[in-house]
């Protein structure tokens, strides 16, 4: 993983000519800004750790400490690119198994060392910030060695180590003919433990279920001992502890084992592009699909701005571009909203389910664009974060955030959050492009995922982010949306937890934390704040 | 609701001739035993309540106190039929709204009065026993007046009052063309709040989802304030408080509002009988259905003993009986296992889904019996508890219990629990008939639901129940099954919670309870024990 940006440092997804022209025209004034040289990153020396931790492969290597010093949010990257690391872990520990995790947590609780569980480090909400909380020292707990894999083909479940990367888990299942079907944008670099700790949702979660739907049992090592739920398909034995561990974001303990439901790997994956006249008629079509049990496994709807920018970014040129534009014009969809629809499964099943979806799309005036846009989406489905690096190199502020609401209030929330972001950017003298898509639909509502780009305010990057993010979050709260559909809470959303679950809800979670982590060593500052 | 048994006191489901003959032959020695006269029930006088509770329609009426003195488990009924009521609530309060619930809980916490939330009173695990815990006085909180109903047709959700009975909620939705699709055996007399508090599952939950799947948001009044989750289709904002409130069985507070996802009412309901050669080939067929996404909405498989007893109880006689037996003989299914399969929905959808299910059933050697057994099941789907009253009148000990496990360990658990029950009954000198069915299947496993009948041990009814129940629970725990798939924990399963979620899991739930109910007034003795 690149120390200053996303993914494989050898891989780049350069901006095309169309994108560069569009940005120059619509968002003038951005000045390129490359990351500092890695040697120029300033790092405070590590504090000495208790000797009890010596046996757990502690590393105080500079590159390791930098790797675990931040996640991959815009403020994380803006800081690290400028050579600024407010705090790095004093060491990175890599336990070999759950027993070693127990040993580490006991030692850290006794000695007052904060512990930040670290999987892929892909949090975009400050979820792995190495905060020490009430303590002086902090370690990152790198879980990569907890990578066990045990498939029960008869029950179609698999017990997975939390340190398995998405592709590792998929490959192990694929060898036996199964899939987990969980493909968030961070898939290539995120871990099973992270998916569980953050209630991850993937691009095909309409079909396979969100990660929390897939988990049948879970184990968590807390400083006070291990919590373990039974591997049974269902239980009515009281409040669901599984659902307390899922989403706990490392603040209650370390998820050490995740049992998931798996499915036969699909024989066919068919992705297509479609186009709606506008966002409203598009999401009405998606509502109809969801409420008729006819949702494609992948179902995304971009609003006008996102559709327009996607087309500009796609580098379609010359005759192909002109033919495509002519087609859109003839079909009355020149400024339409792109839909990506994908069906996965056995061939006959895909045919039947596609036919059911297509009938509803057509009935709602959504027009086919064929397979090429589907293939293009599939090809680029994990490249968004690489593009962000290019945009930051080019001098832009770029960020994403997400929420969800019921269909009854969906349009209202869509408008309010978009307006809040646009206004906040303009008020700071950096008007931007604000785009949105729907990527997770349910019978009762859907998600809204915003991406916005503006010229960065040089020297004021963090404040520009803070003001824009606050404006968006305030609008979400004011309209009753959730503060996060699948990015989780981390440090950035912690101030909004009281709005989400009420003061008493926060207190209830605090009571739970006090019982499991009385010394307050687990991931300080996240989820419930300081 | 009958004071000493199930349901409408004017309704009876008498045992047929076939059933009487079978019982006389297989379980000889039972002596009829009718309930005592209601006037002969001994009731201690109510203790005086704090004056602060006077304004909440408190009733100390004898019939009301008896109604709320117990649930509907075998030991509950065995005691009450003999005129014995170990403890009745000192009063029954009927708040008009959530604000009155708040007022009652505040007063009770201040004055040290235990509170037992009371919906339909249909618990079969001691969930509404009027225990006072550490306090001297106890009131039942009858929620029948919290019966609001608010449908959001666009989002296909409904906000329901906890006091609505199953048929009331269904009727209100039906008027608008929707259904909740939640039909547990207790449907006619149980409430929405009870479904949520106990993680209820219904007979069509394979199709519509268990009750916990249907709930999108919930509110709970605790002694320390109100918890409320957002009405959004999904959130990743931390541990799921909704899943803490669901299943809390009145021990954390009073569920005051439940938002559920609803569906269009089905145009067609088609139920059929099928028959498998034995239980194992039957559940292999169900596993194949579940793992191919081809489960009927209702899917039940009875083992040999349950199938045999069902046929004896069905009162099929003469030519019909002999034709049926001839057919079973020709098909090689004379001692087979009955499957009830039901599909609900739009006509074309039912046809297609039925065809997919049928192909799998046939491939597994499951043979059709036509619609008559399906209609018979549908007609009698809520009458089981009435039959229990008849059997108790005839002098039998009859009880049910349930668990679930993954497919890999399903056969093992089935055998172990059945053996444990049979052995426990025989060891007490009252050998019985032990029957089992599968009623809830999942991709990863399924439920096991046992019903057993034996001659009661006169004067030793409670001990007979205790020993048999303990043997079954011990076997479940030894084989890693859950202590309850959908009956909940109540008082009877509380001793097994540590086996279910570990000592630390119990401690975590206790920490939560201490924060929300520091005075320990909420439903003492249930879920976490005393």
Q: What is the DSSP string of A300-365?
A: EEE-HHHHHHHHHHTT--HHHHHHHHHHHHHTT-TT-EEEEEEEEESHHHHHHHHHHHHHHHHHTT
Burial track B47-65 (b if 16+ CB lie within 10 A, e otherwise): eebeeebeebebbbeeebb
| Alpha-carbon distance B348 to nearest alpha carbon in chain A (angstroms) | 12
**Parts of chain B belonging to CATH 3.40.462.40:** 268-381
Beta strands in A223-351 (DSSP E): 225-228, 254-261, 263-264, 268-276, 298-302, 337-345
Residues of B in contact with A403 (CB under 8 A): 232
CB pair distance less than 8 Å for A508 and B233: no
Band (A277; pLDDT cuts 50, 70, 90): very high
Q: How confident is the model over A365-391, as pLDDT tens digits?
A: 999 999 999 999 999 899 999 999 999
Q: How confident is the model over B435-456, as pLDDT tens digits?
A: 999 999 999 999 999 999 999 9
Asked if B526 is an interface residue toward chain A (Cβ–Cβ < 8 A), one would say no
Closest partner residue to B445 (CB to CB) among A232, A241, A488 is A232
Class of domain B36-142: alpha beta
Q: How confident is the model over B462-500, as pLDDT tens digits?
A: 999 999 999 999 999 999 999 999 999 999 999 999 999
Closest by CA to B6, choosing from B398, B492, B375, B355, is B398
**Parts of chain B belonging to CATH 3.30.465.10:** 149-264
Closest by CA to B22, choosing from B300, B306, B274, B437, is B306
Asked if B205 is an interface residue toward chain A (Cβ–Cβ < 8 A), one would say no
Band (B313; pLDDT cuts 50, 70, 90): confident
User: Reduced to 3 states, what is the DSSP secondary structure of residue B23?
Assistant: helix
What is the DSSP code (8-state) at residue A480?
Answer: T
- With beta carbons less than 8 A apart as the criterion, state whether B492 and B125 touch: yes
- With beta carbons less than 8 A apart as the criterion, state whether B170 and B208 touch: no
| Alpha-carbon distance A198 to nearest alpha carbon in chain B (angstroms) | 7
Number of H helices, E strands in chain B: 18, 17
What is the DSSP code (8-state) at residue B237?
Answer: S
A294: closest chain B residue by CA: B349
pLDDT at A75: 97
Band (B350; pLDDT cuts 50, 70, 90): very high
Look at the domain B149-264 and name its fold.
3.30.465
Give one word for A365, left, alpha or beta, with left for phi > 0 and alpha for psi -120 to 50.
left
pLDDT at B249: 98
**Parts of chain A belonging to CATH 3.30.43.10:** 17-142
Architecture of the CATH domain B268-381: 3-Layer(aba) Sandwich (3.40)
Angle between helices A347-363 and A279-291 (to 10 degrees): 130
Closest partner residue to A485 (CB to CB) among B212, B235, B480 is B235
**CA dist A132 → A107, A127, A135, A519, B471 (Å):** 15, 13, 5, 12, 50
Look at the domain A385-487 and name its fold.
GMP Synthetase; Chain A, domain 3 (3.30.300)
B153: closest chain A residue by CA: A408
Residues of B in contact with A488 (CB under 8 A): 236-238
Percent of chain A with pLDDT over 70: 100
Give one word for A254, left, alpha or beta, with left for phi > 0 and alpha for psi -120 to 50.
beta
A-to-B residue pairs, Cβ atoms closer than 8 angstroms: 287
Look at the domain A17-142 and name its fold.
3.30.43
What is the DSSP code (8-state) at residue A191?
Answer: B
Average pLDDT, stretch B122-140? 97
Closest by CA to A403, choosing from B239, B238, B234, B216, is B234
| Alpha-carbon distance A406 to nearest alpha carbon in chain B (angstroms) | 5
Average pLDDT, stretch A321-348? 90
- With beta carbons less than 8 A apart as the criterion, state whether B55 and B91 touch: no
**Parts of chain A belonging to CATH 3.30.300.330:** 385-487
Q: What is the DSSP string of A107-162?
A: HHHHHTEEEEEESS---SSSTT----TTSSEEEEEE-TT---EEEETTTTEEEE-T
Asked if B107 is an interface residue toward chain A (Cβ–Cβ < 8 A), one would say no
Quote the CA–CA distance of B121 and B165 in Å, as a whole number.
11
From chain B residues 134-193, the ones with a CB under 8 A of any chain A CB are 152, 154-157
From chain A residues 401-440, the ones with a CB under 8 A of any chain B CB are 403-408, 440
Q: What is the DSSP string of B163-215?
A: T-BHHHHHHHHHHTTEE-----TTTTT-BHHHHHHHT---TTHHHH--HHHHE
pLDDT above 80 (res A30): yes
Closest partner residue to A239 (CB to CB) among B155, B248, B504 is B248
Quote the CA–CA distance of A246 and A211 in Å, as a whole number.
9
Which one of A16-25, A303-312, A467-476 scores highest in mean pLDDT?
A467-476
Residues of B in contact with A237 (CB under 8 A): 247, 482-484, 488-489, 493, 497, 500-501
| Alpha-carbon distance B233 to nearest alpha carbon in chain A (angstroms) | 5
Q: What is the ipTM for the molecules in this complex?
A: 0.96
Burial track A488-517 (b if 16+ CB lie within 10 A, e otherwise): bbbbbbbebbbbbbbebbbbbbbbbbebbb
pLDDT at A40: 92
Asked if A481 is an interface residue toward chain B (Cβ–Cβ < 8 A), one would say yes
Mutate to test the interface with A, among B234, B243, B350, B522 (most CBs of A within 10 A): B234
Q: How confident is the model over A228-240, as pLDDT tens digits?
A: 999 999 999 999 9
Asked if A300 is an interface residue toward chain B (Cβ–Cβ < 8 A), one would say no
pLDDT at B403: 98
Instruction: State how far Cα B330 lies from the chain centre.
Output: 38
pLDDT at B244: 97
pLDDT above 90 (res A250): yes
Residues of B in contact with A234 (CB under 8 A): 201, 210, 404, 440, 442, 447, 482, 485-486
Residues of A in contact with B511 (CB under 8 A): 511-512, 514-515
Beta strands A149-152; A113-118: pairing state: unpaired
pLDDT at B305: 96
């Amino acid at each position: 993983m690149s120390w200053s940006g996303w993914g494989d440092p050898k891989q780049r997804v350069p901006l095309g000519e169309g994108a560069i022209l569009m940005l120059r025209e619509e968002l003038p004034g951005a000045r390129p800004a490359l990351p500092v040289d890695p040697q120029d990153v300033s790092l405070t020396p590590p504090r000495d750790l208790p000797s009890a931790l010596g046996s757990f492969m502690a590393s105080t290597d500079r590159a390791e400490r930098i790797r675990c010093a931040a996640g991959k949010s815009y403020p994380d990257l803006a800081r690290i690119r400028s050579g600024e690391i407010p705090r790095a872990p004093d060491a990175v520990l890599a336990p070999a198994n759950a027993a070693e995790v127990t040993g580490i947590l006991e030692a850290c609780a006794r000695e007052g060392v904060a512990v930040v569980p670290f999987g892929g480090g892909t949090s975009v909400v400050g979820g792995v910030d190495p905060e020490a909380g009430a303590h002086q020292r902090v370690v990152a707990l790198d879980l990569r060695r907890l990578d066990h894999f045990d498939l029960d083909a008869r029950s179609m479940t698999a017990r997975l180590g939390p340190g398995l990367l998405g592709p590792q888990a998929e490959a192990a299942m694929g060898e036996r003919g199964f899939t987990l079907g969980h493909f968030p944008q961070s898939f290539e670099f995120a871990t099973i433990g992270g998916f569980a700790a953050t209630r991850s949702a993937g691009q095909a979660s309409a079909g396979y279920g969100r990660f929390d739907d897939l988990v049948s049992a879970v184990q968590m090592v807390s400083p006070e001992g291990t919590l373990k739920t039974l591997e049974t398909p269902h239980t009515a034995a009281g409040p669901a502890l599984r659902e307390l561990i899922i989403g706990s974001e490392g603040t209650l303990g370390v998820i050490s084992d995740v049992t998931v439901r798996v499915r036969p790997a699909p024989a066919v994956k068919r992705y297509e592009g479609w186009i709606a006249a506008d966002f409203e008629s598009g999401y009405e079509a998606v509502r109809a699909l969801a409420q008729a049990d006819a949702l494609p496994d992948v179902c995304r709807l971009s609003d006008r701005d996102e559709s327009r920018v996607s087309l500009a970014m796609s580098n379609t040129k010359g005759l192909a571009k002109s033919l495509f534009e002519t087609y859109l014009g003839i079909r009355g969809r020149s400024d339409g909203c792109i839909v990506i629809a994908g069906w996965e499964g056995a061939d006959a099943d895909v045919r039947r389910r596609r036919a059911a979806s297509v009938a509803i799309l057509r009935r709602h005036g959504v027009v086919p664009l064929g397979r090429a846009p589907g293939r293009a989406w599939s090809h680029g489905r994990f490249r968004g974060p690489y593009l962000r690096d290019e945009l930051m190199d080019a001098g832009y502020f770029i960020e994403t955030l997400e929420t969800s609401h019921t269909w009854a209030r969906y349009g209202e929330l869509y408008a309010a959050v978009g307006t809040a972001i646009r206004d906040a950017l303009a008020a700071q003298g950096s008007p931007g492009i604000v785009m949105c898509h729907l990527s997770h639909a349910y019978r009762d509502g859907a998600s809204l995922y915003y991406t916005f780009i503006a010229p960065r305010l040089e020297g004021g990057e963090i404040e520009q982010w803070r003001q824009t993010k606050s404006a968006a979050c305030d609008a979400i709260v004011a309209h009753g949306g959730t503060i996060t559909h699948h990015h989780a809470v981390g440090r950035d959303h912690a101030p909004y937890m009281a709005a989400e679950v009420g003061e008493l809800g926060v207190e209830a979670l605090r009571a739970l934390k006090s019982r499991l982590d009385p010394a307050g060593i687990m991931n300080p500052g996240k989820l419930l704040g300081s």
